[in-house]
């Protein structure tokens, strides 16, 4: 049984704009990191095409945040008021 320090994709939440995505709740989502694009969240798995929901350096103009167990790794978590 994993201890409390073990991390998994269940601990990752991504905010694009003011929308929250838990990648463990939607198997159609892919979180990627590339050298030129940084972190990006994609929907669609390529069948028939993918849609980029947001990204760190990809020209996305809204808030983009990747958080693990509530700790932001990239960006800033939107406040409750901003998410409504």
Mean pLDDT (whole number) for 41-70: 86
Residues 6+ apart with CB under 8 A from 11: 68, 69
The whole-number pLDDT of residue 1 equals 45
How high does pLDDT run on average in the chain?
A: 87
With a cut of 80, say whether residue 66 has pLDDT above it: yes
- Rounded alpha-carbon distances, angstroms, from residue 63 to 1, 11, 17, 18, 72: 36, 20, 5, 7, 12
Residues 6+ apart with CB under 8 A from 77: 15, 65, 67, 70
| pLDDT, tens digit, 9 for 90 and up, residues 1-38 | 456 678 999 999 999 988 999 999 988 999 999 888 89
With beta carbons less than 8 A apart as the criterion, state whether 26 and 41 touch: no
């Amino acid at each position: 049984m994993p201890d409390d320090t073990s991390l998994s994709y269940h601990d990752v939440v991504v905010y694009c704009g003011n929308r929250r995505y838990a990648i463990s709740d939607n198997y159609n989502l892919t979180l990627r990191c590339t050298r030129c694009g940084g972190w990006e969240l994609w929907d669609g798995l390529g069948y028939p095409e993918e849609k980029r929901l947001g990204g760190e350096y990809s020209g996305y103009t809204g808030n983009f945040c990747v958080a693990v167990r509530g700790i932001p790794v990239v960006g800033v978590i939107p406040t409750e008021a901003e998410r409504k």
